Amino acid sequence: MPHFPSPGDKASLEEGLLFTPKFDRDGLITVVAIGAEKGEVLMVAHMNEESLARTLETGEAWYWSRSRQSLWRKGETSGQLQHVVEMRTDCDQDALVIRVEVGGDGGCCHTGRHSCFYRVVKGDNGGPARLEKTH
């Protein structure tokens, strides 16, 4: 049984007050996790219906791991659980932003960094673009 109603027409999607998340052909929706206090982008990941339903039920972020093809309770092994303070959806309800308080050491990235976005892309100037680490 589906956890969420099917997406309606354009007007309902954009201005409606019923949550009808749009999953892609793999059954996934894109999720941006941001820090609860400062709003910095921590990571971009995906949820399927089941993980989104669990996230809403438990108040903790559950994702779908595309590499492992399994439900992924964020922080289960690392202690970096994500307590969801707020969830938002966008105009066509095919993306989510969750504002999270992070448990454990407060980190998010599996490389040990606070955020997964630790490298800046520097313009190509005719050659291949380079990355600069910020931390």
Take residue 76 and report the two structure tokens written for it. 């289960």
Q: Should residue 41 be labelled a site residue for a second copy when binding is judged by CB under 8 A?
A: yes
Q: Should residue 8 be labelled a site residue for a second copy when binding is judged by CB under 8 A?
A: no
Question: Which residues in the 50-89 window bind a second copy by CB under 8 A?
Answer: 53, 56-57, 59, 86-89
Binding site per annotation, positions: 90-92, 94, 109, 116
Whole-angstrom Cα Rg for the chain: 17
Q: Which of 27, 44, 50, 76 binds a second copy (CB under 8 A)?
A: 44
Q: Should residue 37 be labelled a site residue for a second copy when binding is judged by CB under 8 A?
A: no
- For 31, 43, 131, the CA distances from 125, given in Å and listed in that order, are 32, 28, 13
Binding site per annotation, positions for Zn(2+): 91, 109, 116
